[in-house]
Amino acid sequence: MIRALFFRSIRQHAVLLAMLCLSLFLLEFFLVWVAAQMDLGPEFRQLLETILPPEITEMIFGQFSFSSFEGAVAFGYQHPFSLVACIAMIVVAVTIPAAEREKGLLDLFLARPVPRTRYLLATLSFFLFSALLLPMALLGGTAVGLRVVDTPSEVGWLEYLPSALVLALLLLSLGSLTLLLATGARRRGVAVAQGVGLTLLFYWLDFMGEYWEVLETARKGSPFFYFDPGMAAMGSEFPATDFLVLGAITALASSMAFLNFQRQDL
Amino acid sequence: MSTESSADTEPSIQAPMVISPPVIQAKALTRFYGSTVGVEDLDLEVHQGEIFGFLGPNGAGKTTTIRLLLDLIRATRGEALLFGTPSRSPELRSRIGYLPGELSLDGRMTGLQMLRFLSALQGKPGSGSPTNRRDQLCDRLGLTPLDLGRKVREYSRGMKQKVGLVAAFQHQPELLILDEPTTGLDPLVREVVLQLMMEAKDGGATVFHSSHVLSEVDRTCDRVAILRAGRMAALLTVEESRQASTRMMVVDFRDEPPLEGLAAVGAILERRVGGQVELRVPGEIQPLLALLAEHPVLHMSFPEPSLEEAFNAFYRDGSGRDREEGDP
């Protein structure tokens, strides 16, 4: 029965999922091509410093690791379009229980021998599938781009696997927190608003925490703090702490979502 | 003369009597929504092979009871058992066919996809081929293959109800919980639904039939529970409920209506317009019919009492005061 629920979700979201995957693939392919065309050496930085405020330049070269071809390729994994597209899909996936409760479908499904845990497991499976598929589409764009485009670097696509995985973990942690909220919501609109609001709050906390000392400690409570795909790709060591923290948030929030759903009135 | 009973003399050859538990059992089942009562201290037993009517006006607690039985909501106190097992066990629901009162189907699926999907969730198929059973039900309810190939969002209310009915019956469940099953259906299909319920009963299934339509309950049910403001107001056999209810009758006399004679046979005049009188007839109707036979009558009808009227008739005595608890 999990299979029936899972494939129903796949069928219903196949077009959206396919379009997003294609868009992400093309975006990353395009970024590889653009990065290959640009001279991203010190002259590029000097050029930007003359035309942009120092804070923006710092952000481009600091947060977004734009100082090299490798960094520019990794930028695809934290490009605003990638983040918005991936988070949007995840929010859609994890708010399925709220949508089905709102439509009255949950009554129809759970009046059958479907334990609540299995129903939520089906939602979680679809969410997990989406959270892995979308970063893999980006990785596909990287792989094809690096193979097809004449690049100034010998970097291989597998170097970007940690970037894709850390993005997947970010999506899983944000999605699990939204799932926790969605299991208590009676309307999808409310669940979406809560999920998006929470994501924006975390993003704001991480962004502001970098520049505002007051938020420096609080920043560590945001999943975005543990998300640095540039470092994941080019760092000297595997970012195990980031993976562990994001994984722990996912496990904890998902478990709480199960408990919450189990005791809810439907 | 020996006084020993056969049970005493032949204990070893008698098979032990197996008493199956009630199919539905509610023990002081209570559910509050904040300070509002959903149902309170509901005690109920429904036995195998019975069609049980569950009546009550809107807000009486019928749907709350059904949702408690199906573990869709949780009781504030008390207990609901299905087949002798606490209703929280999901496995039980493979033995149940459920039609919700406010049926929602996934508009993006076709009718057939919806039925197949619900069948997959049901897991354990009933006896016989589920596909054949589904085809038979669709045929009887007038759902053509063309209808089933269309998206549910294009369906009328009645068509959706038919799909819901097929979904409830298709796995030949041991217990059918039907909340307003004939809503939105035309009279011919309504008839088929009532037949399906009777057939299910004949096959040994139990039917829990929540309804507003008195005539349907009257025709199909063995016993009727009447719910009011979340409490069980009465639990009657259908025969008892007939006697308890008051018939309405409209008679068109060709001449002056025999008002004194009508009063003498116990008919209560509700309204009079010329030769037409509207009467309330509590109890036996035979004396009234005998009286009418002596007068030229142009037309006579028995309007179906609304549920509210039936409840009023049931809860009020002749003086119009509310029946006190413990009153006969």
- Identify the closest residue of chain B to A101 by CA–CA distance: B104
Asked if residues A232 and A166 have their Cβ atoms less than 8 Å apart, the reply is yes
Q: Phi/psi of residue B235, each to 5°?
A: -130, 110
Confidence of residue B130 (pLDDT cuts 50, 70, 90): low
- Using the Cβ of B117 and the Cβ atoms of chain A, whether some distance falls under 8 Å is answered with yes
Residue B121 at interface with chain A, using a CB cutoff of 8 Å: yes
Cα separation, B303 vs B249, in Å, equals 7
Nearest CB to A107 within list B90, B100, B118: B100
**What pLDDT score was predicted for residue B164?**
94
pLDDT of residue B245: 63
Reported as a single tens digit per residue, the pLDDT across A83-135 is 999 999 999 999 999 999 999 899 899 999 999 999 999 999 999 999 999 99
Tell me, what's the pLDDT at B19?
64
Phi-psi region at A57: left, alpha or beta (left = phi > 0; alpha = psi -120 to 50): alpha
Instruction: Identify all chain A residues contacting B94, using CB atoms and an 8 Å cutoff.
Output: 112-113
Model confidence at B305, pLDDT cuts 50, 70, 90, reads low
Q: How far is CA B231 from CA B94, B225, B310, in A?
A: 29, 10, 17
Q: How far is B74 from chain A (nearest CA, A)?
A: 6
Sequence-separated (6 or more) residues with CB below 8 Å from residue B289: none
pLDDT at B9 over 50: no
Residue-level pLDDT at A126? 95
Among A105, A114, A116, the residue with its CB nearest the CB of B104 is A105
Q: Is-contact B121 B76, C-beta < 8 A?
A: no
B22-36, B191-205, B241-255: segment of lowest average pLDDT: B241-255
Percentage of chain B with pLDDT > 70?
82
pLDDT for A38-51, tens place per residue?
Answer: 765 666 666 667 77
Strand partners, A84: none
Query: pLDDT (tens digit, 9 = 90+) per residue, B233-275?
Result: 888 887 776 666 667 889 999 888 998 899 888 888 888 888 8
pLDDT, mean of residues B13-33: 77
* Mean pLDDT confidence for A13-28: 95
Distance in angstroms (rounded) separating the CA atoms of residues A165 and A230: 12
Range with lowest mean pLDDT among A127-141, A201-215, B95-109, B120-134 = B120-134
Q: Locate the chain B residue with the closest alpha carbon to A110.
A: B72
Residues A112, B94: C-beta atoms closer than 8 Å: yes
With residue B142 as reference, give the H or E element that holds it: none
pLDDT, residue B246, reads: 67
The region of weakest confidence among A118-127, A154-163, B196-205 is: A154-163
For residues A8 and A109, give the distance between their C-alpha atoms in angstroms, rounded to a whole number.
12
Between A26 and B282, residue with greater pLDDT: A26
Average pLDDT (B301-320) is 58
Residues constituting chain A: 266
Interface residue B160 vs chain A (CB under 8 A): no
Asked if the model's pLDDT at residue A239 lies above 90, the reply is: no
Report the run of H or E that residue B78 belongs to, with start and end. strand B77-82
Q: What CA–CA distance (Å, rounded) separates B168 from B115?
A: 10
Q: Which residue has the higher pLDDT, A165 or A2?
A: A165
Residue of B104, B109, B210 to mutate for A, most A C-beta atoms under 10 A: B104
pLDDT mean over A183-207: 93
Q: Which of B164-168, B202-206, B280-284 has the lowest mean pLDDT?
A: B280-284
Distance of alpha carbon B75 from alpha carbon B64, whole angstroms: 10
Mutate to test the interface with B, among A2, A102, A108 (most CBs of B within 10 A): A108
When CB atoms are compared, the residue of A112, A115, A265 closest to B118 is: A112
- Put simply, whether A4 touches B (Cβ < 8 Å) is yes
Of the pLDDT bands very low, low, confident and very high (cuts 50, 70, 90), residue B310 is low
Residue B327 has pLDDT above 80, yes or no: no
CA A105/CA A89 separation, integer angstroms:
21
Angle A17-A19-A25 from CA coordinates, rounded to 5°:
100
Question: What mean pLDDT comes out for the span A221-228?
Answer: 91
CB contact under 8 A, B104 and A103: yes
Rounded to the nearest 10°, the torsion over CA B176, B180, B181, B186 is 170
Contact A112 B117 (CB under 8 A): no
- pLDDT value of residue B319: 37
Distance CA(B128)–CA(B106), nearest Å, equals: 27
What pLDDT does residue B140 have?
Answer: 92
Rounded CA gap, A101 and B67, in Å? 14
pLDDT per position as a tens digit, B107-127? 899 999 999 999 888 875 544
Q: Which residue has the higher pLDDT, A155 or B96?
A: B96
Q: CB–CB of A8 and B117 under 8 A?
A: yes
Instruction: Kindly state whether A112 is in contact with chain B, defined as any CB-CB distance less than 8 angstroms.
Output: yes
